[in-house]
Amino acid sequence: MERQDIRNIAIIAHVDHGKTTLVDQMLKQSGTFRSNEVVEERVMDSNALERERGITILSKNTSVSYEGVKINIIDTPGHADFGGEVERIMKMVDGVLLLVDAKEGPMPQTRFVLQKALKEGLKPIVVINKIDRPDGRPVEVEDEVLDLFITLEADDEQLEFPVVYASAKNGFAMLSIEEEGKDLRPLFDSILKSIPCPKGEPENGLQLLISNIDYDKYIGRIGIGKILRGTINKNQAAVLAKTKGEVANVKVSSLYNFQGLGRVDIESATVGEIIAIAGISDISIGDTLCSVDKVEPVPFVEIDEPTISMNFMVNDSPFAGREGSYVTSRHLKDRLEREMLSNVAMKMEEISADCFKILGRGELHLSILIETMRREGYEFAVSRPMVILKKSEAGTQEPFEHLFVEVPEENASAVIDKIGQRKGEMLDMLPTGTGIVKLQFRIPARGLIGYRSEFLTDTKGYGTFHHLFDGYDNYRGDIKVRTRGSLIAFENGTAVAYGIFNAQERGQMFITPGTEVYEGMIVGESSRLEDIVVNVCKKKQLTNIRSAGNDDSLRLVTPTVLSLEQSLEFIADDELVEITPKNIRIRKRILQKTARERSQRK
């Protein structure tokens, strides 16, 4: 049976090529919103962090109706760190809209997401977006996209992809570059014409693959997936086949489908529909819901392995428990286990009762989890990100990244030098003729830890870089990342202007007068390689003698306020970042000076 009334598509692209903006316009022009309804921009980026950073972090479902056909749309992230979000939805759709910027052309993540889609045999539509840009080059970009398809060994049918020229921002699409764009009808028509209808046997046994998990505080866990075979009814008895081989008898208490931005309660659904089910407490991504008389699990898409790990531990600083609502090891473990259920690219290992190792795709992947937990009221400490090494017959192997860099010509030599120091090998150098140089490197993943801030400084904020996982290779030896030590607080107390004034001669401060500090807390970056202990709480001794200039105000240098990502990049192996809902502090693992010195001697 073919479901002519349904199309299931995912929108995939490199970061910032306009996926979420296009979904906004598709929702508006399909009549999803009332004419008088006020709708904010990037409505699909519902997460507060997504709105602040201007990126998509989680894959999300929505739907529009056009010419009597329901089009289920999945908006996906563009960052490589969230590649797991893209990989897991591939079984839910029958085709993809590949968005490519009319100026930038195919970028590193374009290659990654397209490769996953082609491997699953999905039908692509290429959308060359932002054609309203004055520096756009849509014709050349179309050729570059074709070259990419050929490089990725697309089959003959996939190579016959339709091309739509669009401006998501202005809400129009065209089938020819010479046309005048009015609305998105050409894009909707291309979807109906080119994306295959879902097929299946509605009378056969139920087969529903869970590809996404949502959570509702009233009804609990909600499994989202596509019905590959059969029909499902509300209150139906079924069998849940887990990814590890176990099976369990369950009951579907609630059934929903997607209409616009919301979920609608339904009584039944059949082949090809993307639905949400509630009432199964231990449902997870990759599970298959089957009929009782025919239990046949569906193999789930293979997710790339994590490459970076970080230890999450209970906060044991002198300020522990003062600012967070959830501070115990039980709180921390429960929250991390809950994250593992929906974040398929992340893994967890229990090191001890108070320490858990979290494995992820990259620094951004892990920092988003940290920031999310922080906003939820959790208080904990984290270690420096470390790459995951593997042992083989050839020796120790480490993960490598393919690094794509765009920098102004005058900054290229500084970038090449720094990446060389981090064991990177240059693969290609391409001047663009516009004052920008495109560079490609192969670099150990640990060489990128802590590099972003340094890169932005070296390129005065004009450089950009993206990276993709490039496999494991032989360990390249030590990389000297930190060139300066830390300024460490001498005692517990409150920092004062006089103490900071004396300490700032030793390096760059991170704190201001009035900041509460404790012994072992890092208050600045040393101007030398070694750590220096400073007393920022030291007050000026008062005398009854008044001298010229005595009352002049102390001139304090503006401190550097580190963000979460900058803090994670800054810390050394013997340091931690203390995370609370109100503050981010950096500290030594061993707070007491004498104990630290004793440990170093050992």
Which residues lie across from 426 on neighbouring strands? Answer: 441
129 marked among binding-site residues: yes
Q: Is 19 annotated to bind ligand?
A: yes
Residue 5 annotated in ligand binding: no
DSSP, collapsed to helix, strand or coil, labels residue 45 as coil
Q: List, in order, residues 6 or more apart from 160 with CB less than 8 Å away.
A: none
User: 63 and 260 in contact (C-beta within 8 Å)?
Assistant: yes
> CA-to-CA distance for 266 and 269, rounded, in angstroms?
8
CA dist 312 and 298 (Å) reads 34
Contact 145, 124 (CB under 8 A): no
Annotated binding-site residue? 18: yes
Quote the pLDDT of residue 129: 92
The amino acid present at 101, given as its one-letter code, is D
Q: How far apart are CA 413 and CA 419, in angstroms?
A: 10
- Domain ranges in the chain? 6-194, 207-290, 390-474
Residues 6+ apart with CB under 8 A from 1: 199, 200, 201, 202, 271
Q: To which residue do tokens 């920008």 refer?
A: 436
Q: Which residues sit opposite 98 in a β-bridge?
A: 12, 126
132 carries a ligand binding annotation: yes
**357 annotated binding-site participant:** no
DSSP string, 523-542: EEEESSSS-EEE-TTPPPPP
Residue type, 496: V
CATH fold of 6-194, please? Rossmann fold (3.40.50)
Run means of pLDDT, 10 residues per run, the chain, 602 residues: 87 81 83 49 48 55 86 75 68 89 86 84 92 89 92 89 91 88 90 90 88 78 88 90 84 86 86 89 85 86 82 95 93 92 84 94 86 93 93 88 90 92 92 86 90 85 84 88 88 93 92 94 93 91 55 77 89 93 94 89 79
Single out the residue of 188, 207, 189 nearest to residue 198, CA to CA: 207
The annotation status of 151 as a binding-site residue, yes or no, is no
The H-or-E segment that residue 486 falls in is: strand 486-489
CATH, range 207-290? 2.40.30.10
pLDDT of 58 reads 57
- Could you tell me which residues come within 8 angstroms of residue 81 by beta carbon, excluding any fewer than 6 positions away? 360, 361, 362, 363, 364, 365, 368
* Angle at CA of residue 575, ends 573 and 578, nearest 5°: 135
Quote the CA–CA distance of 192 and 588 in Å, as a whole number.
59
Whole-angstrom distance, CA of residue 13 vs CA of residue 76: 8
Say what the pLDDT of residue 264 is: 86
8 A C-beta contact, residue 479 and residue 415 = no
Nearest to 314 by CA among 260, 254, 383: 383
C-alpha–C-alpha distance, residues 9 and 194, integer Å: 11
Dist CA 261 CA 63 (whole Å): 7
Residue that is written with structure tokens 């003698």 in the block? 545
Neighbours of 315 (CB within 10 A): 24
Is 131 annotated as a binding-site member? yes
Residue 128 counted as an annotated binding residue:
no
pLDDT at residue number 512: 93
390-474: CATH, from 3.40.50.300, 3.40.50.920, 3.30.70.240, 3.40.50.2300: 3.30.70.240
Rounded distance, CA 240 to CA 210, Å? Answer: 10
Q: What CA–CA distance (Å, rounded) separates 187 from 30?
A: 12
- 488, 571 contact by CB (below 8 A): no
119 is in an annotated binding site: no
Contact assessment for residue 372 and residue 581, using Cβ atoms and an 8 Å cutoff: no
